[in-house]
Amino acid sequence: MEFMASLQNGFDDHKPSLFEILSEQQLSALIPPSLRYLLTIATHRNPRYLLRVLNTFDELYALLMLAVERHYLKTYGGGFTENFYGLKRERVLRIKGGEAPRARIGAPELMRETLQLRNRDIWNNLAFMVGLPYLKRKLDESYDIHAPQATILGPNYNRDALPYDASLRQRIMYYYKWFLRNIYPSVNAAYYFSLIAFNLAYLFDNSKYSSPFLWLTGTRIRRLSKADHHAIALAARPPEVPSRPGARPGQASSVFNPLLFTTVVYPRLLSSLKILLPTSIFALKFLEWWHASDFARQLSKKATEGLDLPPPIISGLPSKPPPSLLASSKPNAPTSSSQQTTTINTVALSSPPISVQPLSPPMSTSAVPYKSIKANPPISSTSLLPIHTVPTPTMATSSLCPICMHPIQTATSAQTGFVFCYTCIFKWVDGSHDRQTAFMEGKSGGEERWDEDEDDSDEEEQSDNAKGTKRGSREGKWESGKGRCAVTGRRVLAGTDGLRRVMV
């Protein structure tokens, strides 16, 4: 776009492009919400001290920016964000064309002193740089509060007229709300249309002003020249503070000296914002990249590659097998059903809380008889029945699925931390696994021994015949493990939806 304008009137080195000005305006508009967000987070931690500050944020920010912008306009000739982009503000000459190219080339220092902002120009620019954005923020906030009420309620919103004996405050609020509902939308539209018109005129070099407010103040945006940088370097030098007669040694250089604070500390403190702004922008962009990319995930993965972590140890099994199961496992040991129920209740109530137990000695990867599984099963807290589980994986079988005893396919983790094949643990939690079905039907053979003994006791046979169940069926005596972890017997929350894939 600069090339298009230079085709007609020649290229101007000190005229910034419209995109530079728009970038500066966007950066300036991002500072208030960013500071408000940081203050909101800090207020959640210390509401006692910061709640009032947050409620008066607009007023405090306006006062702060008034001091900052005034310092930058006097020292650097431009606003805070304008100086960050290497821009400044200067007065427009009251001559034909408003330019003096020969004088600018022959006497740049003299032209800079002639066009620099005076005290009156600084306050006029501060009114539009600080006062106008503050007023617009308050009007937009009030419009967002009152306009939806009138839209929702319709004619009933303003049904009652202003009372005859209304106070001055009531009259002001009445006319203020009327202005927001009827006039402010048109004023807001005119505000943005005027900005677009001046931007287009500035883009095609038909105007020297990129904003209607610059036209009202008689200033324009320019790039910093060599003379400006030289003058800024001279102004940035710390002045020498004269010592007062009769002052103590070192008193003139003290921080608490008012003259030293106003001439050295205060300007340096405001000038340090030039370093704080790009640093904060870099930190923000770095955090966005860190959370958006997978670099952090890859870094943590590489850091844990060399660690040999043992499998999770979660045991809810009592240290000793239930006496009832030991008694039923011995041949010719008759026990009545009432005694069995009493024993199981005692075991369930007196079992110790869940604790972490050391790993058992390594076992071979061959099939394990189910007699070792049933010797110490977990007890259900609701039905007081033993729960069908599989052996806890050891170091030797850590790479195998605890259910099918084959290499894990499509690793899936339960909420207890154990990893299974997806098909195995899904069917197990669903209650349709072949191993569960075979165990509950009392079948024997296969990869593992599904029975505790090949022949049930006579008493079990009599009880099965009395209940009308199949010979060797464990229905009503055991829980199949449906909805539970296959190793620990703990219930899996949300059922099969609680299973999670393991990304290796």
Q: Is the pLDDT of residue 363 over 50?
A: no
**pLDDT of 248 above 70:** no
Mean pLDDT of 53-78: 91
Lowest-pLDDT range, 252-261, 322-331, 360-369? 360-369
At 122-169, the pLDDT tens digits run 999 999 999 999 999 999 999 988 777 666 655 555 545 677 788 888
Distance from chain centroid for Cα 426? 34
d(CA 445, CA 228): 94
Q: Residue 488: its pLDDT value, please?
A: 86
More confident site: 39 or 147? 39
Q: How do residues 293-322 score in pLDDT, each as one tens digit?
A: 766 667 666 666 665 656 655 554 444 445
Nearest to 31, CA basis, from 372, 215, 276, 319: 276
Alpha helices in 46-155 (DSSP H): 47-55, 57-75, 80-84, 101-106, 108-115, 119-126, 132-153
Name 386's bridge partners.
379
Token pair in block for residue 442: 């009392």
What is the residue whose two structure tokens read 């298009």?
Answer: 4
Mean residue pLDDT of the chain comes to 74
pLDDT digits (tens, 9 = 90+) for 318-355: 444 455 444 444 444 444 444 444 343 433 333 444 44
Q: How far is CA 418 from CA 75, 398, 400, 501, in A?
A: 67, 10, 11, 12
User: Per mean pLDDT, which range of 163-172, 242-251, 447-456 is the poorest?
Assistant: 447-456
Cα torsion angle, 188, 190, 195, 200, sign: positive
Residues near 412 by Cβ (< 8 Å), separated by ≥ 6?
A: 419, 420, 421, 422, 425, 426, 499, 500, 501, 502
Work out the percent of the chain whose per-residue pLDDT is above 70.
63
Q: Which helix (H) or strand (E) holds 278?
A: helix 273-292
Work out the angle at residue 177's Cα, subtended by the Cα atoms of residues 176 and 178, and round it to the nearest 5 degrees.
90
The structural domains of the chain, with segments of one domain joined by +, span 2-238+255-271, 323-501
Which residue has better confidence, 23 or 288? 23
